[in-house]
Amino acid sequence: MYRRDAVRLLGALTLPGSIFAGAPHQRILAIGLQLFTVRAALEADFDATLARVAAIGYREVEFAGYFGRSAQQVRASLRRAGLIAPSAHIPLDAIGNGWEGVLENALAIGHRYLVVASAGAVIDLDGYRRIAERFNHAGEMAKKAGIRFAYHNHDVEFAQLAGKLPYDVLLEATDPRYVCFEMDLYWITKAGANPLTYFARWPGRIQMVHVKDAAAAPPHRMTDVGAGMLDWRSLLGRGMQAGVKHFFVEQDEASDPFASVTASYAYLRDLRF
């Protein structure tokens, strides 16, 4: 593992052609958007918002709720907008009773991933280990249905409990056959951890990322991609090498959501590695 990672860092690994548009000027081919960013507009006019997202240039979206629409309605709206939705966020309680129905709806929409957005209030490492057991069970069921199961972090997973990071416990205690991860690059950086360390140590486990930037400390204010301090060439390039497949722009509390996602898209569209 360590020798392979060293080769990656030296740039000697041949990368899949389907991800990039021709070396040496590599780029993200399909930039995605987490629709939580435009949730107010989506609730007001679902179809018009998806069309506006597509007009900016986004080709993939990740849902965080469907605003009362059926799976068939959501799929039809995506088709009209010319978008695909590889992923959706779900609450933790979705993996309890009724999980089979959640999986059926995800398949009907066309999702390939379902992502638990937060583990909620967990007070100790044993709590995270119990969460990991639930993830393994839900992930095994998801895999049988043809869906990948994933977990999305905030900053709390990088605050030590009893000398360990909860994020490390989740990685160690979940089965890679059934559970992968969506790394939020803003929250891990705000917490003081290094995404590159995780890309190198856990190749293949982190298959999606949230792409949002952070202004200088304090207080690491969330900002448009390219307007903050994160080194996107390193983060995205090394993420791709480690197996990241999908890249979703997000701005949790933008004062002008569409101006924000337009600026972030323009930066990523022109970014080369």
3-state secondary structure of 131: helix
* The pLDDT of residue 61: 98
- Does any domain span residue 18? no
* The pLDDT of residue 26: 84
Structural domains in the chain (count): 1
Q: Model pTM greater than 0.95?
A: no
Among 156, 166, 247, 238, which residue's Cα sits nearest to residue 196?
238
* The pLDDT of residue 166: 98
The CATH number linked to 214 is: 3.20.20.150
Residue 6, pLDDT above cutoff 90: no
- Does any domain span residue 111? yes
Straight-line distance from the first to the last Cα atom of the chain, in angstroms, rounded to the nearest whole number: 24
In this structure, what DSSP letter does residue 173 have?
Answer: H
Tokens of 270: 């022109």
- Does any domain span residue 5? no
- Does any domain span residue 229? yes
- Does any domain span residue 16? no
Tens of pLDDT along 60-76?
A: 999 999 999 999 999 99
- Using DSSP bridges, classify how beta strands 179-184 and 246-249 pair: parallel, antiparallel or unpaired: unpaired
Tell me whether residue 144 is exposed, middle or buried, using C-beta atoms within 10 angstroms of its C-beta: 0 to 12, 13 to 18, 19 or more: exposed
Burial 39-72 (b: 16+ CB within 10 A, else e): bebbeeebeebbebbbebebebbbbbebeeeebe
Tens of pLDDT along 110-168?
A: 999 999 999 999 999 999 999 999 999 999 999 999 999 999 999 999 999 999 999 99
- Does any domain span residue 11? no
For 4: left if phi > 0, alpha if psi spans -120 to 50, otherwise beta; the answer is alpha
